[in-house]
Amino acid sequence: MAEKWTYSFGAGAAEGSVKLRDLLGGKGANLHEMSTIGLPVPPGFTITTEVCAHFTDSKGDYPDDLNAQVNAAIAKLEATLGVPFGGDHAQGKILLLSVRSGARASMPGMMDTILNLGLNDETVQILAKQTGDERFAYDSYRRFIQMFGDVALGVDHYHFEDLLEDYKLDHGLNLDTDLTADDWRALLPQFIDTIESETGAPFPQDPFQQLWTAIGAVFGSWGNKRAQTYRKLHDIPEDWGTAVNVQAMVFGNMGEDSATGVCFTRNPSTGENHFYGEYLSNAQGEDVVAGIRTPQPLSVAEKENSGLHLPSLEDIMPGLYAQLDEVRNTLENHYKDMQDLEFTIQQGALWILQTRGGKRTTNAALKIAVDMVAEGLIDKAEAIRRIDPSQLDQLLHPTLDPDAPRDILATGLPASPGAASGKLVFSTEAAEEWVGRGEDVILTRVETSPEDIAGMYVAKGILTTRGGMTSHAAVVARGMGTPCVSGAGDITVDIKAKTLSALGVVLNEGDVVTLDGSTGQVMKGLVPTIEPQLSGDFGTLMTWVDEVRDLGVRANAETPEDAKVARGFGAEGIGLARTEHMFFDPQRIIHMREMILARDVQSRRIALDKLLPYQRQDFTELLRIMDGLPVTIRLLDPPLHEFLPRRKADIKNVAEVLGVTVEDVERRAKELHEFNPMLGHRGCRLAITYPEIYEMQTRALFEAAADVAESGGTVHPEVMIPLVADREEFKRLKALVVTVADEVLNARGVKVKYRVGTMIELPRAALTAGEIAKDAEFFSFGTNDLTQTTYGLSRDDAGRFLQIYREKGVLADDPFVTIDQDGVGELVKIGTERGRAQRADLQVGICGEHGGDPASVQFCHDIGLDYVSCSPYRVPIARLAAAQAALGVKAQDNA
């Protein structure tokens, strides 16, 4: 049996339905569905996405039996309407067609459309006779030639626009509507001659040749630049392809009793349950979006709200408006979602050309979902499914005013969402100085280091020319909720000269730039932003989310500010507190450097004793804020050289304060220098060498826990030992932690339950997890470093080429953004299974940046982890993604 390539619809019947969305595309599936439920849809047929795949793979060929099926579908269409394609002079009737794209995911405006197909030098006369309107017929022919030439034959539209403008100028005409039938008749040969001169071939007069050329153009438009860019931005797979929808033309430009418009069943900006849209009388669809005429409001209420004085559709065609309103209710009740529909009124008859789930703001999406639950259209689970977790970023951070102009200098990686403007500064010191004067700043570096933390804290935004999505700048910025663009390789930063260069433009310190951390754009000057507003609908949805999800959600937080934000967003504790970030305050860093420069244990202990009160205060604040919730403290992780000064002036200052020579400081820095510090003397390796560091941190933590417990608080401290590769490392350091913890608690007479576990961030640790779990009470997978060590990639350098890998299809996703399930994910799965086989009550989570990525959250749910931990501002995203995972929603379903 031959494969079916075409599906017909119309006259209250259809061969397809929404269940065949993948095959018919979104637009086609909805046309079939609307036909089935009795809505007035111009009849036609859909050519499937499988034909697009064949067309693409064969570089322009079609399946052998497609021609016969298309001819049969045309014959069926002719029989339905009683009008022949190609026209009939005797009848004085003609069937014209529209040819439109329709992928399974909505891609508005990204692919091509051709209207009025079937017109030629002969059939235009039939159309004139049929309508009794010569001007309409020749204007329609002109539109077809222009659109067909541009879309199907590759003749740039400006050729036609220039001819039209010259003609109007020569004849003293101002508007297109001023041209008569004779004017269009005079212009048409020039349009046709232009096509022949530009293509080397005559304009096709045969309607069937026009049809096949148009079908090929629509299939070919799946691969055009704008469609590829849109798919990349919205994570739409390349192999989905588009369907082609061929429909009988209906005309909104056949007189004052005709019109065309676009409407939404609810307001797409606010979500309010009001009919929303616009229309033009005596116009075709492209006129609505072309901006040539001012569209008119749909309803009287909308006219009054907008302050426009143009008559609404409800004013001038009340009966047709009532029909359209009925269609609105029918569609919402059928699809149980807000719809975006296109309609045409042809000489008093209403036709629905398209419906699809309407694009909406995140605030509108929340309101619509919550309202539809209240209206009984959907249940809570469906409301949860409706919201794309990634879009919640729009609610939690400032966004750029979409109507404001942008002077884009470069595009880097969207490392931390939100938008910010400020004056360029190139050092932490400058950031603090300018902010102290009341200025907003954008801290700009080649790459950031822990030494920049103070400047990052005060900056409105952070820009780096190196680094990926999990670089130091990206991770810290996300934790603070600060917009960040990283890896902007087209920008050159000269730290000494204090300049930023891009596209031949040189900016100096103090010049204003704007960052969009959601898109990676870097813009010259100030671009206005819109502040986020959390509605009551957000809280309502989050309550439903927590009723559904199984996976816990914690936050990565080490400052009181981060911890408060995290708890406010519903975090169920702290899954990662990076203690190294606590040491960079000027009052503390000097004691840290004293400890590093010390030559014996006793001297190191003296320096560490000076740090202990600060560390204890840090832990006390976190435990109080997270009262009753677990707080996971990761003991010191980075190599010691990161805490030493680099600039000569700073080295000199440290030497003077500590009473040592500059040579002493430089010599120690040289001793600590490593060729690959990420795999060097860090994490638990430091504590094996210098156990007094972890002793101090453990003492500070449990003194803090005792203080909070004695004051009536409930504490659940968890001690995490990083970078363990071997059970013996963990066993020794756990013994150290337990000894100090019990000593403190016994001395204070306080009982505190605590856990000691490890961060699994090395493949060997995952593979030997069964052995490590003999001693470890919890695992937290550090998927940032586990991705680095599994792939052999530096997260700070990989940003330079990972985008190229994605563009060339080598990798589907950036593995630092979405967890690599086949490699890194398999190690997480193995480590979890082997750990729990040894210790049944082993608590397992992840604390890498993947904890806030919806697809990665889904993976964590699927393999049975206990929790994910992510940046505070991503906690709501993780909560929603976890609920959707529990409901069986796949992350790609939100594409």
Q: Give Cα separations from 572 to 80, 872, 884 (angstroms).
A: 62, 11, 18
User: Using CA atoms, how far apart are residues 1 and 709, in angstroms rounded to an integer?
Assistant: 76
User: Using CA atoms, how far apart are residues 701 and 750, in angstroms rounded to an integer?
Assistant: 14
In the chain the first and final C-alpha atoms are separated, in Å, by: 35
- Contacts of 865 by beta carbon, 8 Å cutoff, 6+ apart: 551, 828, 832, 844, 845, 846
User: Using CA atoms, how far apart are residues 757 and 761, in angstroms rounded to an integer?
Assistant: 13
Backbone phi and psi for residue 548, each to the nearest 5 degrees, phi listed first? -100, -40
DSSP state of 88: B
User: Using CA atoms, how far apart are residues 609 and 611, in angstroms rounded to an integer?
Assistant: 5
Contact call for residues 466 and 798 (beta carbons, < 8 A): no
User: Using CA atoms, how far apart are residues 560 and 625, in angstroms rounded to an integer?
Assistant: 7
User: Using CA atoms, how far apart are residues 801 and 384, in angstroms rounded to an integer?
Assistant: 36
Phi-psi region of 60 (alpha: psi -120 to 50; beta: other; left: phi over 0): left
472 a catalytic residue: yes
- HEC-encoded secondary structure of 41-81: CCCEEEECHHHHHHHHHCCCCCCCCHHHHHHHHHHHHHHHH
Nearest to 261 by CA among 248, 273, 236, 279: 279
Contact call for residues 365 and 390 (beta carbons, < 8 A): no
User: Using CA atoms, how far apart are residues 566 and 579, in angstroms rounded to an integer?
Assistant: 17
User: Using CA atoms, how far apart are residues 391 and 416, in angstroms rounded to an integer?
Assistant: 13
Q: Give Cα separations from 268 to 166, 224, 357, 364, 804 (angstroms).
A: 40, 28, 11, 6, 35
Secondary structure of residue 199 in the 3-state scheme: helix
- Contacts of 347 by beta carbon, 8 Å cutoff, 6+ apart: 254, 255, 257, 258
- HEC-encoded secondary structure of 103-130: ECCCCCCCCCEEEEECCCCCHHHHHHHH
DSSP state of 636: P
- Tell me what percent of the chain is helix, strand and coil, each rounded to the nearest 5: 50, 15, 35
User: Using CA atoms, how far apart are residues 862 and 466, in angstroms rounded to an integer?
Assistant: 34
User: Using CA atoms, how far apart are residues 368 and 422, in angstroms rounded to an integer?
Assistant: 36
Query: 752: how many CB neighbours lie within 10 A of its CB?
Result: 18
Report residue 797 as tokens.
Answer: 């350098």
User: Using CA atoms, how far apart are residues 734 and 720, in angstroms rounded to an integer?
Assistant: 9
Q: Give Cα separations from 415 to 220, 521, 845, 851 (angstroms).
A: 34, 11, 23, 15
- HEC-encoded secondary structure of 266-312: CCCCCCCCCCEEEEEECCCHHHHHHCCCCCEECCHHHHHHHCCCCCC
Handedness of CA 590, 591, 597, 603 (dihedral sign): positive
The residue from 32, 54, 472, 861 that is catalytic is 472
CA angle 587, 591, 594 (to 5 degrees): 145
Report residue 64 as tokens.
Answer: 């052998």
CA angle 404, 410, 414 (to 5 degrees): 80
The residue from 263, 484, 847, 870 that is catalytic is 847
716 a catalytic residue: no
Secondary structure of residue 221 in the 3-state scheme: helix
Residues that are catalytic = 472, 847
